[in-house]
Homo-oligomer: A and B are copies of this chain.
């Protein structure tokens, strides 16, 4: 998508030096637009863990490129040693964030590609091809999600001619969370390009404020009308018919349709159900965890540093980026990063292959190769 009118992806190989991966360092948004050079898999692991980049699709793509970087520097003296180095790199990458399934998925895909090769040289080349394929597919799948989601917005627009369709989203499942387009935002961008009047309620999304910092910024850069709200507001808006549709992304979806997403998603799903507002989850198929059936019980929920709750960063009046303490010094905090929304609260899943209801039979109708 566009940044000050110029097209960017969130991750790419440096134009004049393909041994360097470049990313948008999202920690500085919306105040500064910083591009970071990543040279090694260790640097990539830090970038994922410390959230220079984040979001289901993007950390999958980052893991893909991380494996490629590991392959660049692994000894090619014999096949077993090379493979072992890549397995270690995969282990390092997989442990950076526990909830998002895309990390595991990308690492496994790289290892499968490598195992099919004979020589370390072929293996190394396979990691390059696979990293590029993961990124390109992520972008293309998100574009497809946009096309499949667009009719949902069109249908609402036809019921209220001349008025904007009000869409609420939580966290950032925008292009900054993927390689391009985003999952939850893809239908929004598709509707905007189709000149359907839309307006997006952007949940601030505590902690880390990915809605206020990232979603608001990327919608603003594309020119999409939006309004920032704190996470507490969505229920009130829905009670007063001010939300036509909720679309969120996901970090992991079980084969039965339970959805792990940024903490607080479950509360919005409850409010949507209570007010008969359609609640959709947009995801590329890389986000499915085909091994799980009971999301609330079985999806591991990451707990992060409590400083994300007790402190906040932003720009002072003097233009300096400053971190402030919000809370009493002695008060302990807890920081659960995700929650699980049970399938029963979800109107539908928007995938690259189309829309289905959030239940195993419907999901497997779209992805029959996952029947086991």
What residues make up the interface of A, taking CB atoms closer than 8 Å to B?
Answer: 30-31, 202, 204-207, 209, 212-213, 216-217, 219-220, 226-237, 239-240, 262-264, 266-268, 270-271, 274, 296, 301, 309-317, 322-336, 338-340
Whether A236 contacts B309 in the complex (CB less than 8 A), given A30-B328, A220-B330, comes out as no
Contact between A236 and B263, CB atoms less than 8 A apart: yes
Bound Cα distance A213, B335 (Å): 17
* CB-contact partner of A312 in B216, B235, B314, under 8 A: B314
Q: Is the CB of B331 within 8 A of A233?
A: no
Task: Name A306's closest neighbour in chain B (CB-CB).
Answer: B228
For A328, the chain B residues whose CB sits under 8 A away are: 30, 213, 216-217, 220
Q: How far is the CA of A202 from the CA of B327 in the complex (A)?
A: 11
A326 proximity list for chain B (CB < 8 A): 204, 209, 212-213, 312, 314
- Give Cα A169–Cα B331 distance, bound, in whole angstroms: 15
The verdict on A334 contacting B228 (CB below 8 Å), with A324-B313, A324-B314, A328-B216 known, is yes
Q: How far is A236 from B226 in the complex, measured between Cα atoms in Å?
A: 28
- Checking B228, B316, B336, B339 against A327 with a beta-carbon cut-off of 8 angstroms, the contacting residue is B228
CB-CB < 8 A to A312: which residues of B? 312, 314, 324, 326
Structural contact, B212 and A230, CB atoms closer than 8 A: no
Contact sample, A vs B, 8 pairs, CB 8 Å cutoff: A30-B331, A202-B331, A212-B326, A217-B328, A220-B328, A228-B334, A233-B334, A312-B326
B231 adjacent to A232 (CB under 8 Å): yes
Q: Are A234 and B267 in contact (CB under 8 A)?
A: yes
Contact of A301 among B30, B236, B301, B323 (CB under 8 A): B236
Question: Which residues of chain B are within 8 angstroms of A332 by Cβ–Cβ distance?
Answer: 226-228
Q: How far is the CB of A51 from chain B (nearest CB, A)?
A: 16
B324 touches A226 (CB 8 A): no
- Across the interface, do B263 and A274 meet the contact criterion of CB distance under 8 Å? no
Which residues does chain B contribute within 8 Å of A324, judged by CB atoms? 312-316, 322, 324
For the complex, what is the distance from the CA of A235 to the CA of B234, rounded to whole Å?
A: 14
A337 to chain B, nearest CB (A): 10
- In whole angstroms, what is the CA distance A339 to B234 when docked? 10
Chain B's nearest CB lies how many Å from the CB of A252?
14
Least Cβ distance of A250 to chain B in Å? 15
Provide the residues of chain B in CB contact with A231, threshold 8 Å: 206, 230-232, 264
Q: B309 and A263: CB pair below 8 A?
A: no
Give every chain B residue within 8 A of A325 (Cβ-Cβ): 31, 314-316
A263-B230, A312-B314, A326-B314 as given contacts; A235 in contact with B204, CB under 8 Å:
no
The 3 A-B residue pairs with the shortest CB-CB distance in the complex, in nearest-first order: A232-B264, A314-B324, A236-B339
Chain B residues with CB under 8 A of A264: 230-233, 235
| A235–B267 touching, CB < 8 Å | yes
Given A213-B327, A230-B231, 14 further pairs, Cβ under 8 A: A30-B329, A30-B331, A212-B310, A228-B309, A228-B331, A229-B336, A232-B267, A232-B339, A233-B263, A234-B267, A236-B338, A239-B266, A266-B271, A314-B326
Inter-chain CA distance A224–B217, complex, in Å, is: 40
Q: Which of B213, B228, B235 contacts A333 (CB 8 A)?
A: B228
